[in-house]
Amino acid sequence: MADARGMSRRQVGLGALALGGGLAFASLPADPAAAAAPSRGGGRPALRHGSAREAGLLPGPLRQLVTDAEAFLQPSPEHPWYAGAVLIAGRGRTVALHRPIGMAVRYQAYDEETDTGVEFPPDQQIPMAEDTVFDLASVSKLFTSILAVQQIERGRIELEAPVASYLPDFGRAGKQDVTIRQLLTHTSGFRAWIPLYEAPTYEEKVQRVYDEELASPPGTAYLYSDLNLISLQLVLEHVTGRRLDVLLREEITEPLGMRRTRYNPPASWKPKIAATEDARKPWSGLDRGLVWGEVHDENAYSLGGVAGHAGVFSDAWDLAVLARTLLDGGVCGRRRILRPESVELMFTDFNTAFPGDEHGLGFELYQHWYMGAMATPRTAGHTGFTGTALVLDPTTDSFLVVLGNSVHPVRSWRSGSAPRVAAANQLARAVPVRPARGRTAWFSGMASAATATLALPALDTSSGAARLSCALWWDTEPKADVLVLESSGDGGTTWKPVPFTTRRRGGSAEPHPTGTATGWSGRVWHDLTADLPAAPGLVVRWRYTTDRLYVGRGAYVDGLRVEKGHRRLFDESRPADATRLRAEGWSREED
């Protein structure tokens, strides 16, 4: 769901509220593992349950992930962020965490006067289960995007072709130059949202899309818009002669065995579906009462529950199967839904002209506001207004599913994206960083709004030519969180940056003339050297500073050494020297 005022997705993540809205679906299979099996014999299952160690993850952060998620069942700060959630975290083919928390159905209504939820009687409330089905909201856009890329593979759609070449009426109102790629990357110029549900018939809703004027010329700005994926739906249905729900079933869910994923769930699914909002004006565009078992988004609801931007229902296991399929290059067992090069395009930034709004074909990239410390230039994902999120990190081969009913009982109870960020931070933390030398390395931590320092003892470098060397690993929120190498010759009264050079193993030297490192470094160790200033009592330290919002995976330092010619002034590998290091906020982390 896009915000009616045209806010960016990042602004929504920081706490802005958007206009929301409503969709309606054979009994569910009892065994979630059945959803992972290929439809035709042979091949290995996409996923299996296993321990953190079997997944190559640290168990402590996964336990903390659940603890953090449960905290948001309480007021945060005034109301719960969600009534409940289902969490999946995994790496490789192992799901190391699959946990339901809270309630799938708790409230029968919202009392506007008292700002409270009217609860169902206890015997009518339904707890979350591993296989609870959720209205995915805008995570649905990923399915539409995959279907579009499939048709690009088959030559029925061209990425750079004008949309009007498939739908001539789309070219009205100055949209004749909008391309398929611009729909997929939200650079078409469409405004964020229009109330299609106000048009009385399906045909009139489509005409409103065709008649819509652009807010900016195509390709000149990024603006997240539901209209892009609704338009893409119309293209797909035109070129294939099949409805979007049929395409979803035949091209994605049946091949991958995703038996809990579809549009318009049947009534028999309702007891297994998480409820959403008591949808009433003025906060909703339509007066519908408690939305439960049908789509929340108003436009999708008015389009019959089948829409390119919203309307897909699914559970956490099915989304994990999809994640694993994409991380494996588009294949699950012996069933392939995309070529590897197509998946690569979905994870490649086409929006280099719009820094901060990185976007592949359908997938958002490198968005700390919900990916947290999992965010890298290749980390792909999407969120949904109802409280859902899917994050894939090809760098560490890990995936995260967070499905919450955060508009239950009303959308105004939640803002921001803190539970998604918290979960992503802990999964990122669970991926171990092996020390460069030996069994331990210094770790900066991942606290927000913090400063951590790691200082060497005072050294006599007064004769000059002293050089610091170590191994360095860093991954921080770009520009906002910074690692600084600095020195003081007056006992810590004043500090000056120390320029340094890093070299990725097998790569070329990279100078850091300001003595700082920030952003993405590839999540690999770099060899560092720095010429130190001359002083009789020089103190050298690393200082890691984070802002209050988001963090990256942090920084690691290993093998600190200061030499002058062949003489070692300091060597961390010597026990006596190691005890002289002063750490505030940094800690030793074992292999």
User: In three state form, how does the secondary structure of 22-91 look?
Assistant: CCCCCCCCCCHHHHHCCCCCCCCCCCEECCCCCCCCCHHHHHHHHHHHHHCCCCCCCCCCCCEEEEEEEE
What confidence tens digit (pLDDT) does each residue in 439-452 have?
999 999 999 999 99
Closest alpha carbon to 326 in 350, 366, 362, 355: 362
pLDDT at 415: 87
Residue 98 pLDDT > 80: yes
How is 178-215 classified by DSSP, letter by letter? Answer: -BHHHHHHT-S---S---GGGSSSHHHHHHHHHHPPPS
Q: Using an 8 Å Cβ cutoff, are 345 and 378 in contact?
A: no
Question: Which of 31-40, 73-82, 142-151, 382-391 has the least mean pLDDT?
Answer: 31-40
Question: Is the pLDDT at 4 greater than 60, yes or no?
Answer: no
pLDDT at 11 over 80: no
pLDDT at res. 591: 67
pLDDT cut 70: percent of the chain above it: 92
pLDDT at residue number 454? 98
* Pairing between β-strand 94-105 and β-strand 48-49 as defined by DSSP bridges: parallel
Distances (CA, A) of 277 to 101, 131, 209, 267, 297: 19, 20, 27, 18, 10
Mean pLDDT to the nearest integer, 146-152 = 98
pLDDT, the chain, mean:
93
Question: Nearest to residue 91, comparing CAs of 475, 318, 396, 524?
Answer: 396
Q: Residue 590: its pLDDT value, please?
A: 84
User: What confidence score (pLDDT) does residue 1 get?
Assistant: 54
pLDDT digits (tens, 9 = 90+) for 308-346: 999 999 999 999 999 999 999 999 999 999 999 999 999
DSSP string, 323-336: HHHHHTTSEETTEE
Tell me the two tokens of residue 481. Answer: 């969180």
Q: Which residue has the tokens 């962020």?
A: 81
Q: What is the model's pLDDT at position 76?
A: 85
Distance CA 584, CA 91 (A): 32
Look-up of token digits 């995309």: 338
What would you report as the CA-atom Rg of the chain, rounded to the nearest whole angstrom? 26
pLDDT in tens, 22-65: 222 233 333 333 333 333 334 456 799 999 999 999 999 999 99
- Answer yes or no: is pLDDT of 157 > 90: yes
| pLDDT (tens digit per residue) in 398-422 | 999 999 999 999 999 988 999 999 9
- Region 192-210: what's the mean pLDDT? 97
